[in-house]
Structure 1
Amino acid sequence: MLKGIDWLVRGLEVLLVILLASMAIMVFGNVVLRYGFNSGILVSEEMARYFFVWLTFIGAVVTFRENAHLGVESLVQRFGRNGRLICMVLSDIIILLCMAAFFWGTWKQYPINASMTAPVVGISMNWIYGIGFFTAIGIGGLVVIRLLRTITGRITEDEINAFAGEGAEAAAIRERAE
């Protein structure tokens, strides 16, 4: 199961690189056109903004998978294994509730966005704001998998230490010190 997720995350990372490179090309091209030729491409300006939105929300899923979001690691690092597990489960429940609220909000907003189109490109605004579905399902799914692995006892020490903000090296040093 986790191997399939790793493959999917690698695909998302490639998509993030493509989005970022596309944004850079579009913005740079518009700067050159604006200051060099007193013109510009409106479509690229609008699409760069939408790519930034997609980049942010897709990046949130990848970042969650890598335990790279901000956390109160200085507190969690002080706990032993059981304390860290309790913090992880509580954190996961809170995140799952937030993702459910985020999904619900995106769902309620969907009909409104369906009736609006982007000013220049003319695509439905659901293509822009609908990325909330992906983020809510992506992070929510990762949380459910981690909760199930925790409940069934299949969570590894490396995963618990990563949640606490410790790499494998820091965890080894900490265990030797205890």
Structure 2
Amino acid sequence: MSKVNKIILNIIKWIIAIMFILLTLVIFVQIISRYFFEFPLAWSEELALTLMVWITFLGSAVVLETHDHITIDFLVEKLSERMKSLLRLINFVLLFALFSIFVFGGWIMIETTKNSITPGMQISSAWLYGGVFTGGILLSITTLRHFVSELKRFVSISKG
């Protein structure tokens, strides 16, 4: 992983950590406000949902970059290195197709909801779908990088 990728990855990790702390605080304040003061906060559930979407998609990009997704690979491990590499290439193609749908669908939802205002926070509903769009872009870029790397590996295995 290049130095630039490490810096970007660390920035995203910090953003996720800050969002997670904020999410925890918002939910805690909502619980205290609702059950002890009988005064529910109208904006807290909207903010919590938006933060969860962003955390999910940014976190998925981090996990994909570091190859930390859960895998069931006991059958794959029985294959030759060439076949393993080929399956990884197919996997990256399928992932790229899925993440392209996230980007495309996220963009459509942003465009559709950009003028819709949330009742609690009074912000555009597009902020919620921005997490899907942004995460989809990060996931797509990461998948392309992994695909190119694996393709080089596959070619070297095939020659060798």
* TM-score, normalised with respect to structure 2: 0.86
Shift of 1:154: 9.5
Gaps in structure 1 of 5+ consecutive residues:
156-178
Report the equivalent of 2:130: 130
Q: Aligned partners of 1:86 and 1:21: how far apart in 2? A: 40
Q: Aligned partners of 1:45 and 1:100: how far apart in 2? A: 29
Structure with larger RCO (C-alpha < 8 A, sep 6+): 2
Note the 1:20-59 alignment, pairs <5 A. 20-59=20-59
Gaps in structure 2 of 5+ consecutive residues:
156-160
> Partner of 2:144: helix, strand, or coil?
helix
Report the equivalent of 2:158: none
Q: How far does the alpha carbon of each residue in 1:92-134 deviate from its partner, in whole angstroms, 9 at most, with x for none? A: 0111111122222222333211131111111111111022221
Q: Aligned partners of 1:72 and 1:36: how far apart in 2? A: 46
Tell me whether 1:148 sits opposite 2:148 in the alignment: yes
Aligned length: 155
Report the equivalent of 1:160: none
Report the equivalent of 1:61: 61
Q: How far does the alpha carbon of each residue in 1:65-108 deviate from its partner, in whole angstroms, 9 at most, with x for none? A: 12222434122211232111111101001111111222222223
Q: Aligned partners of 1:50 and 1:100: how far apart in 2? A: 21
Which has the higher mean CA deviation after the structures are superposed, 65-74 or 85-94? Answer: 65-74
Change (3 A) 1:37 1:109: closer
Kindly report the root-mean-square deviation, in angstroms, between the aligned alpha carbons of the 2 structures.
Answer: 2.0
Which has the higher mean CA deviation after the structures are superposed, 89-98 or 99-108? Answer: 99-108
Shift of 1:21: 0.9
Q: Aligned partners of 1:37 and 1:122: how far apart in 2? A: 23
Report the equivalent of 1:175: none
Which has the higher mean CA deviation after the structures are superposed, 33-42 or 16-25? Answer: 33-42
Q: Give the letter for the 2:144 counterpart.
A: V
Taking only the aligned residue pairs, the percentage that are identical comes to 20
* TM-score, normalised with respect to structure 1: 0.78
Note the 1:1-178 alignment, pairs <5 A. 2-153=2-153
> Partner of 1:144: helix, strand, or coil?
helix
